[in-house]
Chain A
């Protein structure tokens, strides 16, 4: 009987090659993401910022740090300076492009570094539990209780405001959220039967954590990572605004904001340009994060408007609505 069934199945499978293979989980997610207008527009906006920042030297003839007092405080759309110049005669558009390089680099590297730290700590903590969990999570609590802005200021004041220190200290003070998230996820995942099944075929703990379970909690981690890019850009702006981050002749959006505040009444546009850049990039990153969240969450279904649902109901229902 069973062989018979198998035989039938086999014949069916042979006759009918797999023409309509159902899409894999990643394909479904990609399709959902591509159909999300906010996320897709944000992707293009972010790509635009990344590309123009990367190719800044080819897009503008000016040196971002070149002081040209003869042409200072030019208004926007003046000759050769699309967005005008600042109080020292530096081209604002050029400075925005070069600032973007630094702000985006910091944003992405801090997000990457803190997600890596947070994931490792959270995964080990959640998987093993017990005293390891207690120790690591109390460490997270301590890190959370530190006033991170002051810690950042302190470290940058002591070690100098090198670019790399800034990335390190920002990562060091922002991984705890990811750690808690991953730990929570792992606490749930480690009870799954496939974990037991993996142990039953002799898979070592290391591989269970960083292969089996990480793949299962990759979705919230990716989403968190994107949201973190925005947060890191904002932190960088705050530090630079306080005069502790990026130092002249280098420049970042936060630093430009900081410089602009002296001239707020004379030329408010100086503050508006970098402010808008930060706003747009952070907003775009957050939209991408939301889009990813919706795309990667299998429970998130396409929502139809109530009006259309009612129309369908009227059309197809045999009973009166």
Chain B
């Protein structure tokens, strides 16, 4: 059993608004082992990004707060650390990749400046050493002619190259945990595949853990070891890729998979959709959050929020359709 790099227990985080506290992430529990890739999947507004920002403790800057729960990273509790202490961890042991590489790079600095900054902060390198290292890193993430590229500005590179640069920045200090917040959303499909491949090969090389946030089940199926499906701020189902794709148990996961074109639906038939849309955080329905959109909803679902039920050692779901013992669907 590999050691746990990250353990989140009962994390509740969100934003204060005029209507009270909006729990963008409600009672989230996750864990991540060394060298493992965990995909957090969910639609917009399901709390994926809030969770990742909370781990980085960047949520405060976005106007949010962590209300409760623990985030334990390599045995250290992160929720009680000061921002200065977090500054030593961010970029050094935990790094992050952002959705839109073009806007995650500062337009007035060269690529080399931006990569070397992290090295200068965390490893106390001089400017020259850091630049040399930046060239090596750029070569490492598959950018041709890195000696030329380091001196260029972000607007002179393509989107895919920019994302490689962002990855190089994140990997500069060889982090133990890499949080990738929709790293391929802004890229076209071929570049997407290249970036995912790059991430996988770098993971093998550095042995880091990846927390990948995505709304794309296809991306998740390609890179994930385990998948956690989020809906309206909670984790509705968690399991290995095989658990999720072979035995999707929660009606929401089943819906997500069925709405992929060509996945278990015949060609030419109408594409399955989950009716309705994700509820607003201020107006969550009582009981199970998914019940207004769930084809199997019962009175119990409308009345009470389901707890987490283990279906197997690796597979958990939060749905009233399952018995604690049997792990089978009651119809």
**Which residues of chain B are within 8 angstroms of A68 by Cβ–Cβ distance?**
none
Interface of A is mostly: helix
Within 8 Å of chain B (Cβ to Cβ): is A9? yes
CA distance A273 to B53 in the complex (A): 65
A197/B96 in contact, CB under 8 A: yes
B106/A216 in contact, CB under 8 A: yes
A contacts with B, residue count (CB < 8 A):
30
**Chain A residues at the B interface, C-beta cutoff of 8 Å:** 1-2, 5-6, 9-10, 12-14, 18, 21-22, 24-25, 192-194, 196-204, 212, 215-216, 218
CA distance A14 to B147 in the complex (A): 11
- Further pairs besides A6-B142, A197-B105, A202-B118: 16, Cβ < 8 Å: A2-B190, A2-B194, A21-B148, A193-B99, A193-B104, A196-B104, A197-B106, A200-B91, A200-B98, A201-B117, A201-B169, A202-B121, A203-B91, A212-B106, A212-B109, A216-B106
Q: What are 26 A-B pairs at a CB distance below 8 A?
A: A1-B190, A2-B142, A2-B190, A2-B193, A6-B142, A12-B144, A13-B145, A18-B145, A192-B103, A196-B98, A196-B104, A197-B96, A197-B98, A197-B106, A197-B169, A198-B106, A198-B117, A199-B90, A200-B96, A200-B98, A201-B118, A201-B170, A202-B86, A202-B92, A202-B121, A216-B108
Asked if A10 meets B144 with Cβ closer than 8 Å, knowing A198-B106, A201-B117, the reply is: yes
A202/B106 in contact, CB under 8 A: no
A203/B117 in contact, CB under 8 A: yes
CA distance A273 to B327 in the complex (A): 97
Within 8 Å of chain A (Cβ to Cβ): is B166? yes
**Which residues of chain B are within 8 angstroms of A197 by Cβ–Cβ distance?**
96, 98, 104-106, 166, 169
CA distance A25 to B109 in the complex (A): 10
From 63 to 93 in chain B, residues with beta carbon under 8 angstroms from any chain A beta carbon are 84, 86-92
Among candidates B109, B156, B190, residue contacting A215 with C-beta atoms closer than 8 Å: B109
**Which residues of chain A are within 8 angstroms of B91 by Cβ–Cβ distance?**
200-203
Within 8 Å of chain A (Cβ to Cβ): is B107? yes
**Which residues of chain B are within 8 angstroms of A218 by Cβ–Cβ distance?**
108
- Most chain A CB neighbours (cut-off 10 Å) among B86, B96, B98, B108: B108
Within 8 Å of chain A (Cβ to Cβ): is B153? yes
A204/B87 in contact, CB under 8 A: yes
**Which residues of chain B are within 8 angstroms of A194 by Cβ–Cβ distance?**
103-107
**Which residues of chain B are within 8 angstroms of A24 by Cβ–Cβ distance?**
153
B194/A201 in contact, CB under 8 A: no
**Which residues of chain B are within 8 angstroms of A202 by Cβ–Cβ distance?**
86-92, 118, 121-122
**Which residues of chain A are within 8 angstroms of B28 by Cβ–Cβ distance?**
none
CA distance A14 to B145 in the complex (A): 7
Q: Lowest 9 CB-CB distances: which A-B pairs, in order?
A: A201-B91, A10-B144, A2-B194, A202-B91, A13-B145, A200-B96, A202-B90, A201-B118, A197-B104
Within 8 Å of chain A (Cβ to Cβ): is B129? no
Within 8 Å of chain A (Cβ to Cβ): is B216? no
- Most chain A CB neighbours (cut-off 10 Å) among B92, B104, B156: B104
**Which residues of chain A are within 8 angstroms of B121 by Cβ–Cβ distance?**
201-203
Residue on A nearest B144 in the bound complex, by CB = A10
CA distance A5 to B161 in the complex (A): 13
